[in-house]
Structure 1
Amino acid sequence: MIAVDLFRFTTLLAYHALAAVSLGALRPAGGRERAHAVWLRRFLTRMGPVYVKVGQILATRSDLLPAAWIEELKVLQDAVPHMGERETRRAVSRHLGRPLEEVFETFDLTPVASASIAQVHFATLAGGEEVAVKLVKDGVARSIAVNLSLLRFVVRAVEWVSPAARQLLLARRFDELSALLSAQVDMELEGRNQLEVALNFDGHGYVRVPAVHAGISNRNLLVMERVKGIPGVRLAGVRFDRAKLAQRLQDAIYTMLYMHGVCHGDPHPGNLFFSDEGELMLVDFGITVRLSEEEKWGLSSFYYACTRREWKLAIDRFTDHFVEAREEIDRHYGEYARAIGKVLRHHFDESTNQWSTIAYFRDINAVLTRFGARYSHNFTKVELVFLSCEGFARQIDPAIDIFSGEKFSPRPVAGTLGSDPQSVERTLVLQYGHREGLERLREHADELACVVVEPMPASVAKMDVTFLRALREQCDALGVPLVFDEVVSGFRVAYGGAQTLAGVVPDLTCLGKIIGGGLPCGAVAGRREIVDVARSSDDPFFDYENKAFVGGTMSGNSISCAAGSAVLAYLKGAP
Structure 2
Amino acid sequence: MWETLGTVRDLGRLQEIASVLIRYGFGDVVRRIGMAGALERAGRLLHWHHAEERARMESPARLRHALEELGPTFVKLGQVLATRVDLLPPEWIAELGGLQNAVPALPWERIRPQLLEDLGRDPEELFLRLEREPLAAASLAQAHRAWLPDGTAVVLKVRRPGIREVIEADLRLLARLAEIVEVQAPDLQRYRPREIVQQFAASLRRELDFAAECRNAERIAANFAGFDGILIPRVHWQWTCERLNVQDHVDGIPGGDLAAVDAAGLDRRALARTGAAIVLKMVLEDGWFHADPHPGNIFYLADGRIAVIDFGMVGRISGQRRMQVAQLLHGLVAQEAEAVSDILLEWTDGGVDVDEGRLQSDTELFAEQYRGVPLKDLRMGAMLIEITAILRRHRLSLPPDLALMIKAFLTLEGLGRQLDPDFDMAGEARPYVEQAMLQRYSPQTLARRGRRSVAGLVDLLADLPRDLRRLLQAARRGRMRAQIEVPTLDAFGDRIDRAANRMTMGIVTAALIIGSSIVMNSVGGGMPNRWLMALGVLGFVGAALAGVWILFSIWRSGRRR
Q: Could you state the TM-score of these two structures normalised by the residue count of structure 2?
A: 0.61
CA contact under 8 A between 1:253 and 1:263: conserved in structure 2? yes
Matching residue within 169, 178, 199 for 2:222: 199
**1:360-509 alignment to 2 at 5 Å?**
360-369=386-395, 373-397=396-420, 400=423, 402-403=425-426, 405=427, 457=438
Residue 223 of structure 1 deviates from its aligned partner by 0.8
Which shows bigger deviation, 220-229 or 79-88? 79-88
5+ residue gaps, structure 2: 1-8, 26-48, 445-561
Say which of 275, 280, 283 aligns to 1:249: 275
Partner of 1:305: 331
Q: How does 1:285-296 map to 2 (within 5 A)?
A: 285-296=311-322
How far apart are residue 114 of structure 1 and its match? 1.6
Higher mean C-alpha deviation, range 346-355 or range 384-393: 346-355
CA contact (8 A) 1:59 1:73 kept: no
2:259 aligned residue: 236
1:120 aligns with 2:143: yes
Match of 2:295 in 1: 269
Task: Check conservation: 1:246, 1:400, Cα contact below 8 A.
Answer: yes
Listed one character per residue, the Cα deviations across residues 77-102 of structure 1 (whole Å, up to 9, x for unaligned) are 5x421211111222211222322234
TM-superposition CA deviations, 1:137-187 (whole Å, max 9, x none): 112222322333333344333322333432342311221122112211101
Give, in whole Å, the separation in 2 of the partners of 1:265 and 1:145: 23
Residue 376 of structure 1: how far off its partner (Å): 2.4
How far apart in 2 are the matches of 1:300 and 1:190?
28
Whether the 8 Å CA contact 2:326–2:436 is kept in 1: the answer is no
Q: Report the secondary structure of 1:312's partner residue.
A: helix
Aligned partners of 2:252 and 2:301 also within 8 Å: yes
Which one of the candidate residues 55, 70, 88 is aligned to 1:47?
70
Q: Decide whether aligned partners of structure 1 residues 8 and 206 sit closer, same or farther in structure 2, where only a CA change above 3 A counts.
A: same
Task: Give me the whole-angstrom Cα distance separating, in 2, the residues matched to 1:142 and 1:280.
Answer: 36
Contact 1:307 1:348 in 2 (8 A): no
Query: Aligned partners of 1:342 and 1:142: how far apart in 2?
Result: 51
1:141 has 2:160 as partner: no
Offset of 1:55 from its aligned partner? 6.6
Q: Residue in 2 aligned with 1:7?
A: 15
- Residue 496 of structure 2 corresponds to none
1:402 deviates by 2.9
Summarize the Cα distance change of 1:48–1:157 in structure 2 as closer, same or farther, 3 Å threshold.
same
Q: How far is the alpha carbon of 1:104 from its aligned partner?
A: 1.8
> Map of 1:217-228 to 2, 5 A cutoff?
217-228=240-251
CA, structure 1 residues 255+164, in 2 after alignment: closer, same or farther (shift >3 Å)? farther
Conservation of the 8 A alpha-carbon contact between 1:88 and 1:109: no
Aligned length: 401
What residue is the counterpart of 1:557 in the other structure? Answer: none
For each residue in 1:18-50, what CA deviation from the matched residue of structure 2 results, as whole angstroms up to 9, or x when unmatched? 99746999xxxxxx99xx98x988754442213
Give the Å deviation of 1:365: 1.9
Q: Classify 1:400/1:104 alpha carbon distance in 2 versus 1 (closer, same or farther; 3 Å).
A: same
Q: CA deviation at 1:119?
A: 1.2
Q: Identify the match of residue 90 of structure 1 among 103, 108, 113.
A: 113
- The one of 258, 266, 284 equivalent to 2:310 is 284
Distance in 1, Cα, partners of 2:367 & 2:188: 25
Q: In the superposition, relative to structure 1, how do residues 6 and 213 fare at CA in structure 2: closer, same or farther (>3 Å)? A: same
Match for residue 325 of structure 1?
350
Contact 2:337 2:363 in 1 (8 A): no
Separation in structure 1 between the aligned mates of residue 314 and residue 371 of structure 2, nearest angstrom: 27
CA contact (8 A) 2:328 2:343 kept: yes
- Structure 1 residue matching 2:128: 3-state secondary structure: strand
SS where residue 204 of structure 1 aligns? coil
Q: Which amino acid aligns with 2:118?
A: H
Shift of 1:136: 0.9
Query: d(CA) in 2 for partners of 1:362 and 1:455?
Result: 23
Structure 2 letter corresponding to 1:264 = H
Q: Which residue of 2 aligns with 1:564?
A: none
Tell me which amino acid in the other structure corresponds to 1:172: E
Q: Distance in 2 between matches of 1:13 and 1:456?
A: 48
Instruction: Give the secondary-structure state (helix, strand or coil) at the position aligned to 1:218.
Output: coil
- Corresponding letter in the other structure for 2:314: T
Quick one: distance in 2 between partners of 1:356 and 1:258? 20
Take 2:10 and 2:293, find their aligned partners in 1: how far apart are those partners? Answer: 32
> Helix, strand or coil: the match of 1:286?
coil
Structure 2 counterpart SS, 1:132: strand
- TM-aligned CA deviation for residue 374 of structure 1: 3.4
Change (3 A) 1:242 1:164: farther
Cα deviation digits, residues 530-560 of structure 1 (max 9, x gap): xxxxxxxxxxxxxxxxxxxxxxxxxxxxxxx
- In 2: Cα distance, 1:182 partner to 1:312 partner: 40
The residue identity in structure 2 corresponding to 1:323 is T
**In the alignment, does 2:209 pair up with 1:186?**
yes
SS for the counterpart of 1:289 is strand
What is the DSSP-based 3-state SS (H/G/I as helix, E as strand, rest coil) of the residue aligned with 2:145? Answer: strand
Aligned equivalents of 1:69, 1:161: Cα separation in 2:
27
1:206 positional shift:
1.7
Which has the bigger relative contact order, CA under 8 A and spacing at least 6? 2
- Matched AA of 1:10: A
Bigger Cα Rg: 2
Gaps of 5+ in 1: 26-31, 412-430, 433-453, 462-485, 488-575
**Structure-1 separation of matches of 2:436 and 2:119:** 55
Contact 2:328 2:340 survives alignment (8 Å): yes
Q: Secondary structure of 1:202's match?
A: coil
Q: How do 1:329-348 residues align onto structure 2 when only pairs under 5 Å count? A: 329=354, 333-346=356-369
Equivalent position to 2:186, from 163, 170, 178: 163
Give distance in 1, aligned partners of 2:151 and 2:140. Answer: 28
Secondary structure (helix, strand or coil) at the match of 2:257 reads: helix
SS of 2:353's partner is: helix
Cα displacement (A) at 1:294: 1.6
Within a 5 Å distance, the mapping from 1:515-530 to structure 2 comes to none
Amino acid at match of 1:210: P
- Alignment partners' CA distance in 2, 1:221 and 1:458: 41
Kept in 2, the 8 Å contact 1:55–1:73? The answer is: no
Given the alignment, which residue of 103, 108, 113 partners 2:131? 108
Aligned to 1:210: 233
Match of 2:103 in 1: 80
Tell whether the 8 Å contact from 2:332 to 2:367 is kept in structure 1 after alignment.
Answer: yes
RMSD: 4.2
> By how many angstroms is 1:191 displaced?
0.8
- Residue 57 of structure 1 contacts residue 268 of structure 1 at CA under 8 Å; is this kept in 2? no
